[in-house]
Amino acid sequence: MIKKSSSFTKSNLMTMSLSSTARGVLLKWTCLRDGVIHYFKSGSLTSLGSFSPLQPQAEIMAYRIGSQLGFPNLVETKGSTILLPETERYSEQYALLSYTKSFLRENDVQYQGISKCIPRKDFNNVDLYQLIVGRFPSIKQDLDLMILFDFIILNIDRHLNNFGLIIDVNNDYRLSPLFDNGLSLLAQFNSEELSVVNETFIRRRVKVKPFRSDSYKQLKLIDVKNIPKELVNSINSVNLDWDSVFYNLDISKKRKNMIIRLVEDRLSYVKDLLS
């Protein structure tokens, strides 16, 4: 289990000022430490006023899985158990939060979600994937890697604000790293709901974003020849170290087994696709 933090405390967490669309369903904070901005995110708030650990755990596991597989465009994600102060929505409590450092580099000016990069009127009656690739052709490979990664971890919430462009001082742009993976690896299901989840249920009932609602159909959008050979070789050769994926995370044996089966089955499908 991740220990209580002595480095980050409720006194130096600042609630992020975000629009309702960018805020999402999970609470977010920032903290400045050693001159570096850190971004923190909670799990979902239950009806009893406690924070679920499932989404922060998914963020951490997704990063560990992606790192082992060799995905190049990840944001290192860690966890910290922090005492959160009482508010109108919840009482004072310790909660597991996931956190990352700012992914902006020295010459970067800003990050913009893709919804801010394309006028809203242009989204009407078009294929979103083709629209983005047509406007920003240089990000196609990274966009395909995002789709591939989201398929492997079954990320159901890749919406138009948690991927986008990073723009630098020269007005050059690149796709943002793969962040905000909290609704992946079955984190949307509590323990009771998890009992009815299997591959058939996932294929029929679990919907994804942003280009297709079916994860298999979304995966078909990618150009297999566009995937770097180094990543293909890594995916084909790596045996995931599940002890490392689950390290220090308080997860039931049943959930662990379901996550392993989910990812290994999807990796098998991906290996066949890339062969």
Summarised one tens digit per residue, pLDDT across range 202-235 is 989 999 999 999 999 999 999 999 999 999 999 9
pLDDT at 190 over 70: yes
The pair of structure tokens assigned to 78 is 């860690």
Closest CA to 240 of 152, 127, 123: 152
Cα torsion 132, 137, 142, 143 to 10°: value is: 20
The reported pLDDT for the residue numbered 272 is 97
The reported pLDDT for the residue numbered 58 is 99
Right CATH for 10-101 from 3.90.550, 3.30.200, 1.25.10, 3.30.110: 3.30.200
- 102-133 confidence digits (pLDDT tens): 999 999 999 999 999 998 889 888 999 999 99
Alpha-carbon distances of 92 from 20, 83, 85, 89, rounded to whole Å: 24, 7, 5, 10
- 129-144 confidence digits (pLDDT tens): 999 999 999 999 999 9
Cα Rg of the chain, angstroms: 19
pLDDT, averaged across the chain: 92
**Domains of the chain by residue range:** 10-101, 108-274
Closest CA to 61 of 265, 259, 204: 259
Give the C-alpha separation, 173 to 165, whole Å.
6
28-33 β-sheet, strand order: 14-15, 28-33, 36-41, 93-101, 78-84
Right CATH for 108-274 from 1.10.357, 1.10.10, 3.30.310, 1.10.1070: 1.10.1070
Q: For residues 26 and 153, is the Cβ–Cβ distance under 8 A? A: no
**Prediction pTM value:** 0.92
DSSP string, 58-90: HHHHHHHHHHHHT-SSB---EEEEEEEPP-SSS
The reported pLDDT for the residue numbered 120 is 85
3-class DSSP state for residue 188? coil
